[in-house]
Amino acid sequence: MRHANKNRTLSRDKNGRAALLRGLCVSLIRDGQITTTYAKAKEVQPRIERLITIAKTDTVATRRVAAARLGSPSDAIMKTLFVTLAPKFAARKGGYTRVVKMGRLPSGRDSAAISFVE
């Protein structure tokens, strides 16, 4: 039974799901916008919101926490998160991202609901 289990499994085991979500977070920080399925978008949204909230206080400890949650990303990703994104949202208390549904795109895929996160 799935009582009190709110996380989506995304048809992956725990390690595969964690790697997928880390990669989506890194891509979102790097590119500013990603296109993915609606379920993946809804899973990545709270993770990236927490990362931006952590990045608002720029200390060595918060940089280490962010690096651990992103899977030891490159210096460019960390710089983008702490130098560009965090000051941009300094006055805001939450709601840094949005998920916009694009509908189903049946172009040779499984016609899953597609959305983009920015």
pTM of the model: 0.90
Domain assignment of residue 50, given as a range: 16-104+111-117
Does residue 6 sit within a domain?
A: no
Does residue 62 sit within a domain?
A: yes
Does residue 50 sit within a domain?
A: yes
Does residue 89 sit within a domain?
A: yes
Does residue 10 sit within a domain?
A: no
Placement of tokens 């998160």 in the chain: 81
- Number of domains present in the structure of the chain: 1
**Spatial distance between the Cα atoms of 27 and 67, rounded to a whole number of angstroms:** 14
Does residue 8 sit within a domain?
A: no
pLDDT 10s per residue in the chain (118 long)? 889 888 889 999 999 999 999 999 999 999 999 999 999 999 999 999 999 999 999 999 999 999 999 998 999 999 999 999 999 999 999 999 999 998 887 665 677 888 989 9
User: Number of C-alpha atoms within 13 angstroms, CB side, residue 25?
Assistant: 27
In CATH, what number is assigned to the domain containing residue 86?
3.90.1030.10
Does residue 45 sit within a domain?
A: yes
Does residue 54 sit within a domain?
A: yes
